[in-house]
Amino acid sequence: MHTSIAEEATIGRIALEAGNECIRASEPYAPFPTADDAYVILLKKVDNFRGETLKKRQERSPEKMRKELIQIAAMAIRTIYDLKLQPGR
């Protein structure tokens, strides 16, 4: 898939937002000790997003959907970090 510079910039801004949310949401909590703990949180966030998608199209909130998706991405980043799943480990 070929992406334009504008698309790459947009994706970069979204990734930065998810990274910032990861830092913000991680500060008051201890790291995930296990993959199971991370899974529970991720599943909750996915369920929140799913709840919004089950509504009729005209009743869905794009803002709520976006918020949940950013939080899903943030928790995925946190899981990679907390469980030390970085490349080369």
DSSP string, 10-56: HHHHHHHHHHHHHHHHHTTSPPP-SHHHHHHHHHHHHHHHHHHHTS-
In a domain, 88, yes or no: no
Range of the domain at 36: 5-82
In a domain, 65, yes or no: yes
Considering its fold, how many domains does the chain have in total? 1
Going by the DSSP 8-state scheme, the letter that residue 59 receives in this structure is G
In a domain, 89, yes or no: no
CB of 32 within 8 A of CB of 82? yes
What 3-state DSSP class applies to 62?
Answer: helix
Per-residue pLDDT at 13 exceeds 70: yes
Per-residue pLDDT at 23 exceeds 70: yes
In a domain, 15, yes or no: yes
With bands split at pLDDT 50, 70 and 90, how would you rate the model's confidence at 26?
A: confident
In a domain, 66, yes or no: yes
In a domain, 52, yes or no: yes
Closest Cα to residue 68, out of 87, 88, 50, 84?
50
